[in-house]
Amino acid sequence: MAATLNGRGRGRAGRARMMSEINVTPFVDVMLVLLVVFMVTAPLLTVGVPVNLPKTQASVLPGNTAPLVVSVESGNKVYLMDHPVTLDQLVPRLTAMLRNAPDQRIFIRGDKTVSYGDMMQVMGAINAAGFTHVALVTEPLAAAGPKPAAGR
């Protein structure tokens, strides 16, 4: 009726010895799969229109849903997410997309070379359509470089 574990015999006290080694191979396999998944999906999480954002000290807005992004490039080119639209097409497309979620956040990303008047045309059109949760997106000031010394 006696049995052995892993081909090992009984110890001095008549008990079977316990195996104290940890197999980390499954853990490493899972971590490598997660690494590959994150490497593939990370570039897809950014908006595809390259815009040179201005830098400010504004804090990040809290929220748990992904906002719609309207980008304005120099030359007054307007994009809804990654798709180019004219200013006349912007409001009907936003209305169609947000029919069931009127409180959806809309972020406006404007290139720092875009004039104030062009940005206000886009914001005014969105606001006139009844969308009230509109915000401007900027780069953090810390990414701009060192601050100039005071008194100089």
Domain range for 63: 55-142
Q: How many domains does the chain have?
A: 1
pTM more than 0.85? no
119: left (phi over 0), alpha (psi -120 to 50) or beta: alpha
The answer to whether residue 5 is domain-embedded is no
Structure tokens at 120: 């206000």
The answer to whether residue 99 is domain-embedded is yes
More reliable by pLDDT, 31 or 110:
31
pLDDT at res. 144: 47
The answer to whether residue 97 is domain-embedded is yes
pLDDT at res. 31: 94
The answer to whether residue 115 is domain-embedded is yes
Q: How confident is the model at residue 21 (pLDDT cuts 50, 70, 90)?
A: confident
CATH number at residue 116: 3.30.420.270
The answer to whether residue 106 is domain-embedded is yes
Burial state string for 107-127 with b = 16 or more CB within 10 A and e = fewer than 16: bbbbbeebeeebbeebbebbe
Over the chain, what is the mean pLDDT? 76
